[in-house]
Amino acid sequence: MLATDSDPIVAIATAPGRGGIGVVRVSAGRAGAAAIEALMQAITGQTLVARHASYVPFLDGAGTVLDRGIALSFPAPHSYTGEHVLELQGHGGPIVLQLVLQRCIDAGRAFGLRLAEPGEFTRRAFLNDKLDLAQAEAVADLIEASTEAAARSAGRSLDGAFSRDIHALVDDVVTLRMLVEATLDFPEEEIDFLEAADARGKLARIREQLDHVLSEARQGALLREGLSVVLAGQPNVGKSSLLNALAGAELAIVTPVAGTTRDKISQTIQIEGIPLHVIDTAGLRDTEDEVEKIGIERTWNEIGRADVVLHLLDARTGMNAEDDVIAARFPAGVPVVRVLNKTDLTGVAPEVTKRVAADGSEVCELRLSAKQGDGVGLLRAELLRIAGWQADAQSVYLARERHLIALRAAREHLEQAAAHADQDSQSLDLFAEELRLAQESLNSITGEFTSDDLLGVIFSRFCIGK
Ligand SMILES: Nc1nc2c(ncn2[C@@H]2O[C@H](COP(=O)(O)OP(=O)(O)OP(=O)(O)O)[C@@H](O)[C@H]2O)c(=O)[nH]1
Ligand SMILES: [Mg+2]
């Protein structure tokens, strides 16, 4: 039998393992009032008052008590899923919860109650207009958040902050479209539309607002995904020591023997709530050692995937010929920080310097001592800077790559629209088309694909006689 979005579903809603309480949740569809009633009768032996906590026994098929707990019913549409919902809150043991779950399935067999698929409760909340797509994603992000900052911004998205900003942008685009389309429909009126309606000014304000949303979303994506930071360089320059210094723990083996690290070692650390996936690698050199060769191959694989490469050097020697060969192989476009380690041996104070290389690229050099820990704070700050983190960002949303792609697409369409607006009025229909495409991109974030919404707005704001 094929699963459908109207099947009654059931699942254990709490995490696996032992806990104070455990919740079994049933969502029985928007027409599932009778199913919930039957289930309550079968399992608790009573009819419950909607949205009232009732302390009841959970009974098995023979009428024996499996557990005692709170039963709550939420008639549609006032529930998480927007459907008729029953929650059984019992004790949080894996076996007892399995028994209650099985009891629900047995008692609900008559009306086709089945186990819910992953995310199915939230999917229904979206389908029943309880949450939009961005909010539904925020539910998952909130649950998965691994830092306080990530949890807080997922909470903001769930509360609708991100969706509200997207809706505000869509509203502005729709208003502008309405003006353009009206002008297109009545060319005989010969309005210099762009002048009369201040279309350029309106578009400029929308673009400004979109840039703002995009920058907040970019920060949010950073909170969600983090950055992969690869420590690379010749053997013995102190890569493992620096990993340990950043992590504040002796994770990697450090010895004076060149070629100590054979395999990559990863650790996720947090700076200002941003997860940084720091990867220590095998030192790069020519070698005949089979094991070391494989390790070095892995180093290059990691460098290929890095968001930031920390090229470690011994401060006493600086860049040498081998380092030039290494640096030449770094992938283009990935920020590289040259970290001159072991400053404690040179007597030079930790510092960050930036200069422009012969080829016009910016070279960032940072002097520190991994062993003493001096200058590691400078490195943290530099990593935050590369990540584009702004300490004063106030309303970050925990955005996903999908949102960034949609926002960037919308931005491009608005840029195109602006280009058309700067030409003569012949390109007004192209201007309108770019606005439509921008709106479509924005709508994809909240999951609305209403092609009728523009008409709706037009008719609601114009009177027939005009
Ligand atoms: N004085 C001083 N010694 C350091 C510093 N950082 C690392 N060392 C020493 O340099 C040696 C090599 O350090 P590691 O961290 O193992 O170097 P690595 O780059 O990981 O080396 P491989 O794993 O062999 O590639 C060890 O003896 C460290 O104690 C530093 O800042 N100052
Ligand atoms: Mg090492």
Q: What is the pLDDT of residues 146-193, one digit of tens each?
A: 778 788 888 988 999 999 999 999 999 999 998 888 777 766 554 566
377 and 240, same domain (yes or no):
yes
* Protein residue closest via CA to atom 14 of ligand 1: 238
Is pLDDT of 63 > 90? yes
Rounded (5°) CA angle 72-77-78: 50
- Is 274 contained in some domain? yes
Sequence letter at residue 116:
A
- Is 312 contained in some domain? yes
Report the separation in Å between the CA atom of 346 and the middle of ligand 1, taken as the mean of its atom positions. Answer: 15
Counting the structural domains of the chain, the total is: 3
Q: Which residues' Cβ are closer than 6 Å to ligand 1?
A: 235-241, 254-256, 258-261, 283, 341-342, 344-345, 369-371
357 and 246, same domain (yes or no):
yes
Query: What are the CB-based long-range contacts (under 8 Å, 24+) for 89-92?
Result: 89/21, 89/22, 89/23, 90/21, 90/22, 90/23, 90/24, 90/58, 90/66, 91/20, 91/21, 91/22, 91/67, 92/14, 92/17, 92/18, 92/19, 92/20, 92/21, 92/22
Site to probe by mutation for ligand 1, drawn from 231, 244, 254, 367 as the one with most ligand atoms within 8 Å of Cβ, is 254
Where is average pLDDT lowest: 55-64, 103-112, 383-392, 439-448? 383-392
Is pLDDT of 228 > 90? yes
- Is 466 contained in some domain? no
417 and 285, same domain (yes or no):
no
Q: Give the pLDDT confidence score for residue 188 in this predicted structure.
A: 58
352 and 282, same domain (yes or no):
yes
| pLDDT one-digit tens code per residue, 186-219 | 665 545 666 777 888 999 999 999 999 998 888 8
Q: Give the pLDDT confidence score for residue 392 in this predicted structure.
A: 62
Q: Which atom of ligand 1 is nearest to the CA of 237?
A: 19
Expressed as residue numbers, the domain containing 454 is 148-220+398-460
What does the pLDDT average to over 45-62?
Answer: 96
Q: Give the pLDDT confidence score for residue 440 in this predicted structure.
A: 93
Residue 181 near residue 175 (C-beta atoms within 8 A): no
Task: Report how far apart, in Å, the C-alpha atoms of 128 and of each of 72, 111, 452 are.
Answer: 21, 21, 19
- Is 392 contained in some domain? no
362 and 329, same domain (yes or no):
yes
- Is 448 contained in some domain? yes
Average pLDDT, the chain: 88
Residue 233 near residue 239 (C-beta atoms within 8 A): yes
- Which of these, 258, 255, 383, 361, lies nearest to 310 by C-alpha position? 383
251 and 329, same domain (yes or no):
yes
47 and 115, same domain (yes or no):
yes
**To which H or E segment does residue 67 belong?**
strand 65-74
Report the separation in Å between the CA atom of 259 and the middle of ligand 2, taken as the mean of its atom positions. Answer: 7
Task: Report how far apart, in Å, the C-alpha atoms of 147 and of each of 142, 154, 269 are.
Answer: 10, 11, 10
280 and 352, same domain (yes or no):
yes
27 and 92, same domain (yes or no):
yes
179: CATH: 1.20.120.430
254 and 196, same domain (yes or no):
no
380 and 261, same domain (yes or no):
yes
Q: Which atom of ligand 1 is nearest to the CA of 368?
A: 31
- Is 136 contained in some domain? no
Q: Which residue has the higher pLDDT, 447 or 254?
A: 254
Q: Which atom of ligand 1 is nearest to the CA of 261?
A: 23
Q: Rounded to the nearest 10 degrees, what angle do helices 161-185 and 199-225 cross at?
A: 150
Q: Which residues of 180-208 are buried (b: 16+ CB within 10 A; e: fewer)?
A: bbbbeeeeeeeeebbeebebeeebeebbe
Where is average pLDDT lowest: 139-148, 290-299, 326-335, 369-378? 139-148
Q: Which of 331, 352, 387 is the last residue of a domain?
A: 387
* Protein residue closest via CA to atom 30 of ligand 1: 342
Report the separation in Å between the CA atom of 364 and the middle of ligand 2, taken as the mean of its atom positions. Answer: 23
- Is 261 contained in some domain? yes
62: CATH: 3.30.1360.120
Distance CA 431, CA 66 (A): 66
Q: Give the pLDDT confidence score for residue 192 in this predicted structure.
A: 65
Task: Report how far apart, in Å, the C-alpha atoms of 375 and of each of 204, 267, 343, 366, 370 are.
Answer: 43, 20, 9, 8, 8
- Is 226 contained in some domain? no
Is pLDDT of 465 > 80? no
Distance CA 417, CA 177 (A): 11
Distance CA 92, CA 32 (A): 27
Q: Which of 95, 130, 165 is the last residue of a domain?
A: 130
Edge-to-edge strands, sheet with 308-314: 265-271, 274-280, 227-233, 308-314, 336-341, 362-367, 351-356
253: CATH: 3.40.50.300
What does the pLDDT average to over 69-77?
Answer: 97
Site to probe by mutation for ligand 1, drawn from 296, 339, 341, 371 as the one with most ligand atoms within 8 Å of Cβ, is 371
272 and 329, same domain (yes or no):
yes
Using pLDDT thresholds of 50, 70 and 90, give the confidence band for residue 387: confident
Report the separation in Å between the CA atom of 307 and the middle of ligand 1, taken as the mean of its atom positions. Answer: 24
Distance CA 102, CA 108 (A): 10
Report the separation in Å between the CA atom of 342 and the middle of ligand 1, taken as the mean of its atom positions. Answer: 8
Is pLDDT of 459 > 80? no
Is pLDDT of 310 > 90? yes
Report the separation in Å between the CA atom of 240 and the middle of ligand 2, taken as the mean of its atom positions. Answer: 4
Report the separation in Å between the CA atom of 339 and the middle of ligand 1, taken as the mean of its atom positions. Answer: 13
Q: Which of 360, 387, 414 is the last residue of a domain?
A: 387
Peptide bond before residue 8 is cis, with ω within 30 degrees of 0: no
Task: Report how far apart, in Å, the C-alpha atoms of 182 and of each of 99, 109, 179, 193 are.
Answer: 63, 57, 5, 10
Report yes or no on whether pTM surpasses 0.75: no
